[in-house]
């Protein structure tokens, strides 16, 4: 079906240094709450592998830390990702991976929004709609081929 790679020669960026967490004010306070924040969400998704290259989404700058918006109080996360090329048919797969990873990593109370960066994709609206329709997401994951693909992409992010 797909004869060649969608983006045969992507630009690889350097990985960001893993920031060591600055220790909270009172390191021995057992009961202090460390809220879920931008960096934590980013740590969950930075190592997801690109569906067609052996590089992480971070290395391809598909996602950046700034593109993660999180509001722990209101249980809301929005991840905006940027496909490497405008017509990338992998965009939905990448979005699906992000969604699945966050569903598996975040508490149930969260509502997760995944979208492509405005203007970065040819069929932006369609992709966004598809990614945030839970029926379609569930249906996609019923497809064993798709699920295998997603699991393969997610594998490095669990190491």
**CA 54, CA 88: separation in Å to the nearest integer?**
17
Q: CA 142, 50, 120 angle in degrees (round to 5)? A: 95
Contact call for residue 111 and another protein (CB under 8 A): no
Chain position carrying tokens 């905006």: 80
Whose Cβ is closer to another protein: residue 6's or residue 141's? 141
Contact call for residue 40 and another protein (CB under 8 A): yes
Whose Cβ is closer to another protein: residue 1's or residue 26's? 26
Contact call for residue 109 and another protein (CB under 8 A): yes
Query: In this chain, which of 17, 18, 26, 31 binds another protein, going by CB under 8 A?
Result: 31
Total interface residues for another protein by CB under 8 A = 21
Whose Cβ is closer to another protein: residue 40's or residue 124's? 40
Query: Residue 23: left if φ>0, alpha if ψ -120 to 50, beta else—which one?
Result: beta
Region 1-30 residues binding another protein, contact defined as CB under 8 A: 21, 30
Three-state secondary-structure class, residue 136: helix
Three-state secondary-structure class, residue 76: strand
Region 114-153 residues binding another protein, contact defined as CB under 8 A: 141, 151
Whose Cβ is closer to another protein: residue 63's or residue 100's? 100
The strands making up 76-81's β-sheet, listed across from edge to edge, are 68-71, 76-81, 111-116
Q: How far is the CB of 119 from another protein (least distance, A)?
A: 28
């Amino acid at each position: 079906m797909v004869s060649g790679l969608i983006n045969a020669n992507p630009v690889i960026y350097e990985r960001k240094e893993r920031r060591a967490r600055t220790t909270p004010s009172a390191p021995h306070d057992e009961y202090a709450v460390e809220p879920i924040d931008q960096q934590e969400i980013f740590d969950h998704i930075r190592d997801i592998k690109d569906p067609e290259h052996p590089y992480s989404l971070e290395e391809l700058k598909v996602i950046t830390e700034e593109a993660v918006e999180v509001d722990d109080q209101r249980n809301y996360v929005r991840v905006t990702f940027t496909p490497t090329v405008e017509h990338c048919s992998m965009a939905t797969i990448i979005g699906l991976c992000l969604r699945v990873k966050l569903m598996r990593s975040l508490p149930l109370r969260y509502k997760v929004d995944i979208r492509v960066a405005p203007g970065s994709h040819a069929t932006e609206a369609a992709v966004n709609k598809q990614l945030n329709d839970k029926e379609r997401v569930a249906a996609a994951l019923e497809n064993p081929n798709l699920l295998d693909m997603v699991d393969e992409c997610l594998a490095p992010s669990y190491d």
